[in-house]
Structure formats: structure tokens, C-alpha cells
Amino acid sequence: MGYIEPAPIKDLENPFESMMSRFHIAAQHLGLDDEIYNVLKSPARQVIVNLPITMDDGSIQVFEGYRVIHSTILGPSKGGVRYDMGVNIDEVKALAAWMTWKCAVVDIPYGGAKGGIKCNPRAMSAGEIERLTRSYTESMVDVFGEDRDIPAPDMGTGPREMAWMMDAYSRSKGMTVNAVVTGKPLVLGGSLGRTEATGRGVMVSALAAMEKLKINPYKATMAVQGFGNVGSFAALLLEERGATIKSISDISGAYFNDSGIDIKKAIEYRNNNNGTLEGFEGAEKIDGNDLLTLEVDVLIPAAKEDVITHDNASKIQAKLIVEGANGPTSAKADNIINEKGIMVAPDILANAGGVTVSYFEWVQNRLGYKWTRERVNRRSDRIMKDAFEAVYKTSQEYNVPMRIAAYIVAIDKVAQTYKYRGGY
Ligand code: NAD
């Protein structure tokens, strides 16, 4: 399970425009100057490379690779590299901007970037992927850098690819530079606590929101869509804090137990069952879509984008939605949810625990020191809680939904920094 960074909302034709629609609303609330609006709406740098790779059968195939740096106003840019046939420049641009806002919301000193290679890693051998990864890294030697631009895993990439990137970059510099990528295997300088970091951040955000809504965690009922890295850790950690998880789901369908699912057992079952919940007996099987509209206090979409749409939004009964996934709610559904008065802890806030611990990985690498899991958890919990409070306060101040408030916090921080730094 590699870790995946922000994805655009898919129900609008162009992902960049979809991101911009929310940016635009927040910018209007802030009364952002036209000049700064124009600076922030366009990526700072876009690099497209062609990578000829010798395949195992001796043929040469050319792959297109991208890296977009949206902003370095707050610090070196940070963002994952995606291997997927659907990768294109518009998507990478949207994802890069998303990273700028996400890092700014949690107040970590990074700008935003994203990269990708148009390829199908499932149809390639490990050797082919390694050659492609090394070639991509070499072509980006002047873009990447521990103080410049720091890649991480995303869809189709994981610790293995990060190790190759770190090695290829280090070779080109003639020394080991492990802080140039995050999401590395532990032995290469990966951080303890990274695996569970996003689910943990979802838990912290959920508890912070429940406190505002006066929902007692011991009496709270929840439904969690997606039982991969984010969903299963979020469910486990919330169960440990007293919540009753009535329903969980994965690609095989949804599972419901009115008196609560034993999450530890469900994880154990999944781990011994090829990663799926199919056949899980601790609950009754229900239709996957029904999970979203169950009568529960908290709904946690933690599977994929665009699952809460204008079709099902009006049927949602939860009082709180905590977005573990990136872009699970379409822009049209946003309006319905706001009208219903449901609180949303939005993706750029609620799932930022992952990038926060990636930042800690970079900090540890640069210090040449390793933190304990307890220190990592304590510090990331504090960052997540502070970010939640800042976004909540802004939503009250501007009388806007939490999603727009998160954008306001992010854009304001980047715009203020830009003003101090100045342009040409
Ligand atoms: P994962 O691959 O580990 O798990 C995805 C889960 O969703 C699996 O259980 C899969 O079976 C399930 N799923 C897929 N389609 C489904 C459907 N239609 N209905 C119900 N379940 C379905 O992925 P992950 O790392 O847990 O990421 C999940 C989401 O969280 C993604 O949107 C990702 O971008 C986002 N996210 C992840 C991280 C991270 O650190 N892992 C960080 C930020 C955001």
C-alpha cells in the first residue's frame, strides 16, 4: 500500500479548473489582490521529459514524464510521483497546487509539486520500472533537491521506487542525499509512524470535529468507506478511543454490524485474505453504496475520489464527514451537504497527517537522527489539532464551510509570505 497524495475532483471536465473553482471562492472571501491571484493560479515551473527505456525484450519504448512545481513560496516544493496511464499535465498541475494548499493548511514549510510518468507499472517488470525510475530521476537532477523539490510516493509508486530515486540522485551528486525523497524504506531513513500517519490524522481531525459538535466519542457511531491504509488505521484508532464502527467497506462490498465491528479482527482477516474483506463473518454484507447513507454520526470516506455526489448527498444522515480520501466529495455535492448543515473536515486538512510525517522524515534525515514512534505521533497529533482549530476558527470568522475555510487559511498564508518576500 503506497501512500498517495491529493487527487483532483473528477466530475468536472478539467481537474485544474475544478481545483481553481474552490481557490476562486476562497480568494474572493479573502479579497485577494489580482496580482497575487495571478501568481498563485499558475504553476511556477513545468517540466516534461521523454524517457527512452530498453524493455526486457530488447525493444526501446519512450515514456513521457512530468514534474510540476506549483509554488516554492513557503519552502522547497513537496509532492508525490504517480505512475499511471491516466497521468497528464493538467492532472499533475492540479495535484501540485493541491499540495501547496495542503502543506500550508498544516503549516509545514513546503511549497507544492507533483510528478508523474505515463506508464502502466502493472504491465512492466521490476527491472523495467527500475530503469524508468532511474532515468526519470536523472532527467530531474536539476529540479529535485533536498532544499529544492522533494518527491514522495503516489499512485503506482512506493518505498521501492523511492529507494531507487534516492540512489540515482545520490549517485549523480557523488554522495548520499537521503533527504531528497520521502516515503523511503525504514533502513534508508524512512520515518517510524509513517504507515499509520494518515489514518491517525483522520482520527485526530474526527475527534476535534466531534468536540465542536458535542458528539461523545464513546457514544459515537461511524461508517468507514475503504479498508486500505487510511481507512483501516482510522477505524482502528477511533475504535480504540471508544467509537462504534458500524460499517466498513472495501472493493468487495460493505459490511455492517449494528453493535459494532471488531476492527482488529477485520484487519487480521484482511491481512490473511489477500488484502480483501470478502467473506468476513463479523458483520452482515450490504451494498457498498449503502454505507454512505447509513444512520451514523460520522462518515469517513477513505477509498477514492468522487463518491459523494449530487445523487447521494441528500441521503447522507451523518452529522460529520471526515475526508480520509482525496477529493471524495464532488463540488455539486458540497452545496447539498452545506445546506444540510453537515460539518466536513476536508481532505486538505483531514488527510494531511501523511505529508506531515513525510516532513518529519525529511527533518530526521537532515538532522541525521531518528525519532521514536511516540515523538512522531505526539508532534503530528499536535500539528493536526492546531490545523483543525485554525480552520474551524476561520470558518466561524468568515461564516463559510470548513472546506472553503481550509483554502482561506492556505491561500492567506502563501499570499502573506509572498508579500513579505516580494516579486520582481
Ligand atoms: P489503499 O489502496 O491502501 O486502500 C484503498 C481502499 O479502498 C481499499 O480497501 C480498496 O479495496 C477500497 N476501495 C476501492 N474502491 C472502493 C469502492 N468503490 N468502495 C469501497 N472501497 C473501495 O489506499 P490508501 O492509501 O488507503 O488511500 C485511500 C485514499 O486516501 C486515496 O484517496 C488516497 O489518495 C488518500 N490519501 C492517502 C494517503 C496515505 O498516506 N495513504 C494520504 C493522503 C490521502
Mutate to test the pocket of ligand 1, among 1, 4, 307 (most ligand atoms within 8 A of CB): 4
Write down the pLDDT at residue 18. Answer: 65
Q: What is the pLDDT of residues 286-332, one digit of tens each?
A: 999 999 999 999 999 999 888 999 999 999 999 999 999 988 988 88
Question: Which pLDDT score, from 0 to 100, does residue 9 have?
Answer: 47
Do the annotations mark residue 229 as ligand-binding?
A: yes
High-pLDDT (> 90) share of the chain, %: 86
Closest to 304 (Cα-Cα) out of 266, 349, 271, 347: 347
| Tens-digit pLDDT profile for residues 79-90 | 999 999 999 998
Residue scoring higher pLDDT (248 or 424)? 248
Q: How confident is the model over 224-260, as pLDDT tens digits?
A: 999 999 999 999 999 999 999 999 999 999 999 999 9
d(CA 396, ligand 1 centre) in Å: 31
Check if CATH label 3.40.50.10860 holds for domain 43-176.
yes
Among 182, 249, 304, residue to substitute to test ligand 1 (most atoms within 8 Å of Cβ): 304
CA–CA dist 81, 162 (Å, integer): 9
Which of 239, 241, 231, 247 is CA-nearest to residue 196?
Answer: 231
Whether the Cβ atoms of residue 226 and residue 249 lie closer than 8 Å to each other: yes
Looking at the predicted structure, is the pLDDT value of residue 135 above 80? yes
Coil/strand/helix, residue 318: coil
Give the pLDDT band (50/70/90) at residue 276.
very high
Tell me the CATH architecture of domain 196-349. Answer: 3-Layer(aba) Sandwich (3.40)
Residue-level pLDDT at 61: 98
CA of 392 to the centre of ligand 1 (A): 26
- Is 114 catalytic? The answer is yes
CB-based contact 118:83 (threshold 8 Å): no
**Percent of residues in the chain assigned helix, strand, coil, to nearest 5:** 50, 15, 35
Query: Does the annotation list 385 as a binding residue?
Result: no
Quick one: pLDDT at residue 16? 67
Q: What angle do CA 298, 303, 306 make, to 5 degrees?
A: 90
The pLDDT value recorded for residue 8 is: 46
Read off the pLDDT of each residue in 114-135 and give the average, rounded to a whole number. 97
Q: What residue spans define the domains of the chain? A: 43-176, 196-349
CB 205 within 8 A of CB 384: yes
Interval between CA 29 and ligand 1 midpoint (Å): 32
**Model confidence at 38: pLDDT above 90:** no
Is the pLDDT at 281 greater than 90? The verdict is yes
What whole-number percentage of the chain has pLDDT above 70?
A: 96
Residue identifier of the C-alpha nearest atom 17 of ligand 1 = 251
C-alpha closest to that of 94 among 49, 36, 45, 41: 41
Comparing 7 with 54, the larger pLDDT belongs to 54
Residue type, 68: V
> Pairing relation of β-strands 60-71 and 45-54?
antiparallel
Looking at 10, 41, 114, 304, which residue is catalytic?
114
| Common-topology check for domains 43-176 and 196-349 | yes
The predicted pLDDT at position 15 comes to 61
State how far Cα 85 lies from the chain centre.
20
Nearest to 384 by CA among 324, 334, 311: 324
